[in-house]
A and B are shown apart, each in its own frame.
Chain A
Amino acid sequence: MWSTDQRNRLAMEHQILQREGFSQFSVYHHSAHDSYYASGLATSSSSRRYNLYSPIPPGFPSQRPPLYIIDPNPLLMANGTAISRLGVSHAMHTLTPHDQGWVQICHWRDARWHSGIVLQKVFLKALIWIEAYEQHLATGRDLADFVRTMAEAA
């Protein structure tokens, strides 16, 4: 299922994470299913912890990997409702949520993704999203107000 190029690419993605200051995230190989995922714990500047999970799709790197926050779940907005209820939201920079209610962070849209983008940048955007989310919790303003377009941040 996975080509040698894909396996080498994922091995390199892991190395980049470890060597570029993102060692809290790793790429894992699920040997029983021969599947890959990237995950790790992100800690915000206010010391809250978020468990991030990115199942690597079979078309990676040409196919965009989704990135979910699997804990806390549900992830709530300032008004107490679940972010996942918004679906694809510009105000909160989210894409279609997982069936289990996990919020999908909008790091790149499919229309902007390409295979030159490395997972380190995906997790970097997730860290930015988390900081903006906490600003949203503090102020009630849209998360988008605190994040310039993700393209600029990259």
Chain B
Amino acid sequence: MSTNDPVQRQMIREAMQAVAQRKPGRSKLVYDKTKRTIVAVTEGAQTPQALNITADDADMFGVITVSSEWLREKWPELNRAGILPVAFSSWDDGDALTQSELCVQASPITVLGTFLLDQYQAESSQGLAILLERTEASSSKPDVFVSPEGTRYRGQIVQPAQPSCQPSDIVFADVEPQLALRRSGILETTILQDKTVLCIGLGTGGAHVVVELAKCGVGRFLLVDRDRLSVGNVVRHPGGISQVGRLKVNVVRDLILEKNPNAKIEAHALEVGFGNKDLISELVRASDIVICGTDNRQSKLLINELCITANVTAIYGGAFRRAYGGQILRVRPKHSPCHQCFVAAMPEEASDVEVSSEVDANEIAYSDQPVAVEPGLSLDVLPIANMLAKLALLELLADKSSTLNTLRRDFDAPWYLWLNRPEPGTPYADWPPLSESSDEMTIKRWYGIYFDRDEACPVCGHFVASLAASYGLDPSLLPALPAEE
């Protein structure tokens, strides 16, 4: 509220309450065109008393948000007893109260209250009391709740949490339908609800990808990462300072639930390695798509092998060092080059990875030649993560009808390259300035690049057979190995 005058505040409060509750009152609010402000017109008064209300005052009421789904579930209980306890997370000094069942991460302050079907019970209840009264108002009104029997009720506060509390609007939120409504224009949300995404590696990129997919309505996630969120991660990772020390799988699980509360999530805090190949293999087989966000060659090769065997599409994304650019490889088993084909065909590109942690640095360091941790900016990683999420979405929608189908001809290549800057010492250092080039490769553009599958690939091809053929051997009749020495 922009005015500090207590008289003004009281007038505003009363007038707006009267308007909000659509009750005949002694005053009403009117927009005065000449003064370009809202004025309170008091019944019987000669002249309207101007109030210093500006646009800032439009949101003067706090909001109490209640889950309609929860209230429908509890309706028999409320009907029977006439009273139903409810708890809220209190935010911003009580300005917003969000029902605890809606909160993935709760406020440290909880406000207790009750729903009532009979206002006389308000006297016996403690704390916030919300009366549900039958109404003929439209069910599209935010403060109208539709019971399981189809009866409409308006919620109104008959007793504030504390006498000093300012008035609040009640909003009944039907979360899933409201989220689906926002996506339905462009996405086949019913298809995505049944899809499972396995994301291995929940750093800045991987975490961003799965949260974006959750926003699109993907219904099930399998998350794999062994790391915890550190203070240093916070400048890049979607997780914040209040989550430092938590396992990244749990941080990201909560981020997903904040965007898609009905998502089913399995969190696996484990390292991807040959030692737990069987478990990773199970997860791959349970997935519709695998997102690989690790920068570790060995784990990528293992994931590649498991995805090819299980015939599951995988998308590998990563930033180059200091995130001067990045690349994405989409592997459709047996139809496009696999990650092994990629590292064999383009060893330098495949080895250009961001060194964003001590673990990454140790991977390539020597005791007498340390490697510095040089993470790039989140700003430079996110374009790669966004593109990866879009490619994943297209794969999940497969051949189903979707507005995004028009992208299929654009995203046909297996390998995608993006440059944030023409980094000195790289093959891209001499790329022309963005403003001077119309037909040459430049920064800040995606390039889809084609290359062929290696028919003799050790993972997706016929490596042994092709070698055997070159020696005139029958691969099914290779001589036995010598016994141990």
A interface, size bucket: 35 or more
Task: Determine whether A62 belongs to the interface, using a CB cutoff of 8 Å to chain B.
Answer: yes
B483 engages A31 (CB within 8 Å):
yes
Chain B residues in contact with chain A, CB under 8 A? 274, 277, 296-298, 301-302, 304-305, 340, 343-344, 347, 351, 353, 363-369, 457-459, 463-464, 467-468, 471, 473, 475, 478-485
Query: CA separation between A16 and B305, bound complex, in Å?
Result: 23
Q: Is the CB of A15 within 8 A of B471?
A: yes
User: 25 A-B pairs, CB-CB below 8 angstroms?
Assistant: A5-B464, A8-B478, A12-B467, A26-B482, A28-B482, A28-B483, A29-B484, A59-B302, A62-B301, A62-B302, A63-B274, A63-B298, A63-B302, A64-B298, A87-B367, A88-B365, A90-B367, A90-B369, A109-B363, A110-B363, A111-B296, A111-B351, A111-B363, A114-B297, A115-B340
Q: Which residue of A11, A30, A88, A110 contacts B479 across the interface (Cβ within 8 Å)?
A: A11
**Chain B CB within 8 A of A86 CB:** yes
User: A115 near B478 (CB under 8 angstroms)?
Assistant: no
Partner of B464, one of A9, A19, A111, A116: A9
Q: Which of A47-68 contact B (CB under 8 A)?
A: 57-59, 61-64
Bound complex: CA of A59 vs CA of B302, how far in Å?
8
Closest 7 CB pairs of A and B: A59-B274, A90-B366, A11-B478, A90-B369, A115-B458, A62-B301, A116-B344
Other A-B contacts than A30-B484, A91-B366, 6 sampled, CB-CB below 8 A, are A11-B479, A12-B468, A58-B277, A113-B301, A114-B343, A115-B305
A89 at the interface (CB under 8 A from B): yes
Contact B366 A89 (CB under 8 A): yes
Provide the residues of chain B in CB contact with A64, threshold 8 Å.
298
A19 proximity list for chain B (CB < 8 A): 471
B298: chain A residues at CB < 8 Å are 59, 62-64, 110, 113
Q: Given that A39-B485, A112-B351 are known contacts, is A59 also in contact with B297, CB under 8 Å in the complex?
A: no
Q: Which residues of A contact B459 (CB under 8 A)?
A: 62, 115
A15 B479 Cβ-Cβ under 8 A: yes
